[in-house]
Amino acid sequence: MNHSALFVTVALSLSTATILSILSLPFAGWVVFSKNRWAVAGESLLTMTLVLPPAVLGYFLLVIFSPDHWLGAFLTRIFGHSLPFTFSGLLLASLIYSLPFAVQPVALAFRQVPPGMIEMARVLGAGSRTTFWRVIVPLSFQGLATGWILGFAHTVGEFGVVMMVGGNIPGETRTLSLKAYDDLLSTSGSGVWGSIAPLLLFSFLSLLALNLVRRAGTAGKNGDVRGVPVP
């Protein structure tokens, strides 16, 4: 097993999923509760990466991350180095690519919050911000957990974007998916299971976690607020 590829994959996936779980809150809140007429267009923009081919998105990000591009030059000043073929660039690309996988479950959970609870909080004097953080977010835990798991699993399986932006540099940007690709193309094919086995394990554990979260949410809906089953 290539431990450097495993380390890069785990570090990238954990970082992406955790950051996205934070970013998904304001994005989902804007999509669901904003009365701005551009909210629909904004939601479409946030979910474009679901339909764009990963290699096309990776090439686009590679171009705008370049120091020759005005945005790339700005990001270079912020990070202190150019982003292409670095872990920082790979992380930023992963955040953009996996964003809808984290935002959509949270937005769905926000839409399922009973309007009566939101109105009750406002009647009791809670402002919009307090209602959001004290009522809506706690009631949307299942969506947050689902978004984190999907963000992690999606990042583990990334290929086209990480290939284009990361460049497959061992110990820096080579992930398990890229290592498996290299092993499959090798003449001997030796060591390929060392890369594929962790990917299979991550996939199974992610699906298991999703099913457990879904089952916990279903059990909660079948009981009262204390978790005692309704007869």
The Cα–Cα gap between 13 and 39 comes to 29
Radius of gyration, CA atoms only, the chain:
20
| CATH code for the domain in which residue 184 is found | 1.10.3720.10
Contact 83, 65 (CB under 8 A): yes
> What's the pLDDT tens digit per position in 85-95?
999 999 999 99
**Rounded to two decimals, what is the model's pTM?**
0.86
144 inside domain: yes
3-state helix, strand, coil in the chain (%, to 5): 75, 0, 25
Query: Residue 193: what pLDDT?
Result: 82
229 inside domain: no
- 3 pLDDT band, cuts 50/70/90, is low
Is residue 189 scored above 70 in pLDDT? no
227 inside domain: no
CA end-to-end span of the chain? 52
126 inside domain: yes
Query: Residue 224: what pLDDT?
Result: 45
- 230 pLDDT band, cuts 50/70/90, is very low
Query: Residue 128: what pLDDT?
Result: 85
128 inside domain: yes
CA-closest candidate to residue 30, choices 21, 38, 22, 39: 39
- The total domain count for the chain is 1
Query: Residue 227: what pLDDT?
Result: 41
Mean pLDDT of the chain: 87
13 inside domain: yes
State which residues form the domain around 35: 3-220
225 inside domain: no
25 inside domain: yes
> What's the pLDDT tens digit per position in 13-46?
999 999 999 999 999 999 888 877 777 888 888 8
